[in-house]
Homo-oligomer: A and B are copies of this chain.
Amino acid sequence: MLGNFTYCNPTKLYFGDESLSYLNTELPKYGKNVVLIYGGGSIKRNGIYDEVVRILKDNGKEVAEIAGVMPNPTLPKLYEGVAIARKHQADLLLAVGGGSVCDYAKAVSVSVNCKEDPWEKYYQRFEEPDCETLPVGCVLTMVGTGSEMNAGAVITNPETKQKIGHVFADEKIMPRFAILNPRYTLTLPHYQMVAGIYDIFNHICEQYFSGEDDNTSDYISEGLMRSLLHSSRIANKNPQDYEARSNIMWTATWALNTLVAKGKSTDWMVHMLGQAVGAYTNATHGMTLAAVSLPYYRYILPDGLPKFRRFAVNVWDVDPAGKTDEQVAREGLQAMEDWMKELGLVMNIADLGATEEMLEGLADATLVMDGGYKVLSRDEIVRIFKESMGQAVNPKA
């Protein structure tokens, strides 16, 4: 049921290996004080930092920096960035990095002029900003999160051990522009590349595996998944294939910029399971998703059978002739497993550092979602983690 919804996504995207030059088009639109935001410094090693700083100088900008934004940006780091942006009287926040850096820039944007504590206001009460927000621009160096074209910002509170995402309602929170140069992604290690690919794939799954089957969003999702399968196989063999990495980057944006969620309730349970694993092991996000996905999907398959059957036929080209719906659906998940192993994804949470002793804590840390085909009980969550660890579970339990 497509229903009622609003779609607005004004971010201007400059795509391709010539895209950084468009920073010269964008910068004159903003005042002279720019805060440059980046992560652990890989952009200094690969030269992107120098290029960006040169363009900023060419455009007469006064630049302050927020360096060292971590993969899961923390609340203390947010406070630090807000102080820097205030002191510099920032006119523009320029994020150079992956999803975490973009997320962080958006969190700073809504907090700089906020009179209350941003954690309380945005991440506990989930309110919208009632203050002036700062424009954000992105130079994307890693793909996966769609953060370059959405209004989401995840922040982690290390004291309370809460990692909370807020998708803001106002499209003004979305980056004003984003520069997507696939060449920047070529230096990523293979492990990170395939983890990112699975993250993208799972973003689509989280939206696809909900609701009924007659929705345009489902069809667009299938197209995006097929594109990703195609390009991932090329990139897996040859990570330097620019064309494949281009298509992966473009697919990542459309996987999570709100389009394929239109008319869908959306699930997000794999992310909840994976994030619990991440909180305990600090494992790479995409790998935590990979390790819990199949135990979860195989478990809920009977509850979403028509969709899993459709997934098998439309995404994995399973021939349904002479088979029951459940056989077709399970063949689809088997094809997905084969592809995941081909990429070298981690399929077992024990391989990410999870232990038997963590099981209860993992279950406690897992937020239960209700938009998918089944609402999991705590026991079912434990069972799924056990399955991932390769422990035999009584199928009738």
User: Are A15 and B4 CB-contacts (below 8 A) given A220-B227, A223-B222?
Assistant: yes
Question: Which of chain B's residues have a CB closer than 8 A to the CB of A221?
Answer: 223
Question: Which of chain B's residues have a CB closer than 8 A to the CB of A1?
Answer: 243
Query: Please, how many angstroms separate the alpha-carbon atoms of A10 and B13 in the complex?
Result: 11
Contact of A12 among B7, B231, B244 (CB under 8 A): B7
Question: Which of chain B's residues have a CB closer than 8 A to the CB of A243?
Answer: 1-2, 214
A250 within 8 A of partner (CB): yes
Name the distance in Å between A374's Cβ and chain B's nearest Cβ. 24
- Flag the segment in A16-24, A37-45, A64-72 that touches B: A16-24
Question: Which of chain B's residues have a CB closer than 8 A to the CB of A12?
Answer: 6-8, 171
A251 within 8 A of partner (CB): yes
- Contact yes or no, B220 A2, CB < 8 A: no
In the complex formed, the residue of B with least CB distance to A16 is B4
The number of times this chain is found in the oligomer is: 2
Query: Please, how many angstroms separate the alpha-carbon atoms of A79 and B308 in the complex?
Result: 56
A247 within 8 A of partner (CB): yes
- Contact yes or no, B11 A15, CB < 8 A: no
- Contact yes or no, B250 A262, CB < 8 A: yes
Q: Would you mind naming 12 contact pairs between A and B with Cβ atoms under 8 Å apart? A: A7-B13, A8-B12, A214-B230, A215-B227, A216-B227, A216-B250, A219-B223, A223-B223, A223-B224, A226-B314, A250-B262, A250-B263
Contacts A1-B243, A2-B182 aside, 17 further interface pairs with beta carbons under 8 A come to A2-B15, A2-B250, A4-B15, A4-B17, A4-B18, A5-B16, A6-B13, A6-B14, A7-B13, A9-B9, A9-B10, A12-B171, A214-B234, A214-B243, A216-B247, A220-B223, A220-B224
